[in-house]
């Protein structure tokens, strides 16, 4: 048992499932609150200086009058990869675009070569340190994608690393199979044959071994077209996976519409999405997982987050941590950009990095809000309110982190 007392402000979205429209900015705000935790779950929340009834002598944590929120959920990362791509920045500064670098055999394909060359142990150790860093930054659950193998062996290797990390590390990990991240070198110029290989060989093996609960595809100009992406997603649906799609990151080629058509749980990026794509997402109830750090790092425009909320699309914000377009795993910076780049309200942003993010990765029944019965994943912030988190940037504003009722930071 643990009693967290002297919480200056407890702020959380309330409910399971996602919040959309004006509900995205409805946050419960309790002053002078306390949380009682039993067996890793929240058993009671009180406010106005009232303390929960609990046995004397149980462990207590003094929140010192600070802000308390649910642990953050990072719903889009490419956590496991070999090497880095620091040399690409010079290319970009000289004018090369993300897709030009990829078409020249660099970008994702560069990381694929390095990930194939890395041992399982090297990938495990590297990713373990990332998870430590994330936890210290207030992130208690993470989604992570494969997609740097593009062959059977390495896709499985990445996913096995994620499975081991999920068992060994405090942070909970949801694994996504993303074999359709780029066309493997072996299939250069023959995207359709590569998609057949993904559908007929890799995806069935991943599912047989129970290594992923979601499937994602990079639907983008000169990567996979709508037809190829549809094929992968329909195949994944038959295998019972939740569907995700990298849509409209650079060009709006119909990825958002496809997300609606196949009933994807989330569509991610959506930087270039226009009204028709947004209408499809709103109709299907697909979560828009927006990645503002990528807009920042690619020096692109910001997704139309306010318009999406206005249309009733549930919005989540995630880091997109990867070695190319976003070499940062700091979800706190996504919060800053959600405020300044998207112009969202602090309450909308909190929902976006907790409840809606949890829903986008299928964890909403257990995490993403502070409520009786939910897992005790909690952050105490070195801040009086969430507006402060949106406003200050560059420093880690975490005071402490509680994961499944245990003080871990």
In the shown chain, the binding pattern of residues 296 to 325 toward ligand IZC, with x for contact by CB under 6 A and - for none, equals: --------------------------xxxx
User: Quick one: which H or E segment has residue 328?
Assistant: none
Determine the Cα–Cα distance for residues 175 and 97; give it in Å rounded to an integer: 29
Q: Which of 9/215 has CB closer to ligand IZC?
A: 215
Copy the structure tokens of residue 385. Answer: 């309110």
Q: 257, 149, 157: which is closest to 197 by C-alpha? A: 149
Q: Please compute Rg for the chain using Cα positions.
A: 21
CB of 336 to ligand IZC, least distance (A): 21
Closest CB to ligand IZC among 107 and 179? 107
CB of 50 vs ligand IZC, minimal distance in Å:
48
Nearer Cβ to ligand IZC, position 111 or 140? 111
- Nearest distance in Å: CB 119, ligand IZC: 20
In terms of CB distance, is 102 or 278 closer to ligand IZC? 102
- If one asks whether residue 248 binds ligand IZC (CB under 6 A), the answer comes out as no
Residue 108 or 281: the one with the smaller Cβ distance to ligand IZC is 108
Integer angstrom CA distances of residue 237 from 206, 231, 314 = 13, 10, 22
CB of 322 to ligand IZC, least distance (A): 4
Report the residue number, 322 or 332, with the smaller CB distance to ligand IZC: 322
The terminus-to-terminus CA distance of the chain in angstroms comes to 17
**Binding map of ligand IZC across residues 103-142, x = CB under 6 A, - = no contact:** ----xx--x-------------------------------
- Secondary structure of 64-91 in the HEC alphabet? CCCEEEECEEECCECCCCCCCCCHHHHH
* Residue 48 DSSP code: T
The nearest distance, CB 112 to ligand IZC, in angstroms, is 9
Reading the block at residue 228, the tokens are 């190829």
Give the residue with the Cβ less far from ligand IZC, 111 or 273. Answer: 111
Binding mask 75-104 for ligand IZC (x = CB under 6 A): ---x--------------------------
Q: How many residues bind ligand IZC (CB under 6 A)?
A: 11
For β-strands 266-269 and 72-74, DSSP reports them as unpaired
Burial of 388 (0-12, 13-18, 19+ CB in 10 A): middle
Q: Helix, strand or coil for residue 202?
A: helix
Rule CB under 6 A: which of 321-360 touch ligand IZC?
322-325
Tokens coding 73: 């959920």
Structure tokens at 100: 């030009």
Distance CA 144, CA 316 (A): 15
* Least distance CB 242 / ligand IZC (angstroms): 19
Backbone φ and ψ for 405, nearest 5 degrees, come out as: 85, 0
Pick from 124, 177, 187, 218 the residue near ligand IZC by CB under 6 A: 218
| Nearest position to ligand IZC, beta carbon | 324
Whole-angstrom distance, CA of residue 123 vs CA of residue 208: 23
Among 249, 347, 348, 364, binds ligand IZC (CB under 6 A): 249
- Residue among 41 and 92 whose Cβ is closer to ligand IZC: 92
**Choice between 295 and 336, CB closer to ligand IZC:** 295
- In the complex, the residues that contact ligand IZC under the rule CB under 6 A are 78, 107-108, 111, 218, 246, 249, 322-325
């Amino acid at each position: 048992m643990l009693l967290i007392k002297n919480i200056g402000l407890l702020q959380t979205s309330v409910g399971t499932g996602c919040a959309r429209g004006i509900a995205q900015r409805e946050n419960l705000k309790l002053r002078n609150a306390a949380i009682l935790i039993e067996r890793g779950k929240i058993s009671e929340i009180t406010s106005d200086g009232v303390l929960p009834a609990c046995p004397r002598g149980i462990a207590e944590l003094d929140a010192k009058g600070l802000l308390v929120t649910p642990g953050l959920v990072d719903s889009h990362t490419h956590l496991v990869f070999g090497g880095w791509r620091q040399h690409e920045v010079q290319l970009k500064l000289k004018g090369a675009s993300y897709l030009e670098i990829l078409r020249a055999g660099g970008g994702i394909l560069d990381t694929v070569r390095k990930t194939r060359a890395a041992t399982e142990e090297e990938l495990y150790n590297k990713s373990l340190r990332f998870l430590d860093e994330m936890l210290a930054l207030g992130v208690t659950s993470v989604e992570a994608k494969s997609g740097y193998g593009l062959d059977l062996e390495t896709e499985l290797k990445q996913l096995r690393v994620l499975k081991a990390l999920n068992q060994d590390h405090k942070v909970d990990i949801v694994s996504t199979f993303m074999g359709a991240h780029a066309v493997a070198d072996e299939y250069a110029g023959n995207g359709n044959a590569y998609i057949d290989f993904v559908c007929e060989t890799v995806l069935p093996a991943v599912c047989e071994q129970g290594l992923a609960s979601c499937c994602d595809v990079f639907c983008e100009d000169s990567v996979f077209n709508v037809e190829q992406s549809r094929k992968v997603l329909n195949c994944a649906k038959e295998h019972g996976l939740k569907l995700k799609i990298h849509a409209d990151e650079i060009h709006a080629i119909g990825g958002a519409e496809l997300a609606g058509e196949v009933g994807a749980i989330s569509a991610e990026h959506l930087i270039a999405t226009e009204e028709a794509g947004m209408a499809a997402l709103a109709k299907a109830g697909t979560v828009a997982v927006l990645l503002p750090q990528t807009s920042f790092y690619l020096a692109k425009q910001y997704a139309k987050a306010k318009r999406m909320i206005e249309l009733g699309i549930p919005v989540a914000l995630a880091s997109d941590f990867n070695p190319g377009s976003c070499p940062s795993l700091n979800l706190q910076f996504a919060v800053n950009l959600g405020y300044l780049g998207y112009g969202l309200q602090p309450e909308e942003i909190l929902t976006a990095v907790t409840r809606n993010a949890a829903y986008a990765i299928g964890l909403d029944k257990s995490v993403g809000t502070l409520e009786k019965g939910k897992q005790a994943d909690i952050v105490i912030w070195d801040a009086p309110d969430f507006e402060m988190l949106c406003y200050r940037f560059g420093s880690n504003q975490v005071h402490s982190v509680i994961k499944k009722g245990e003080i871990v930071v």
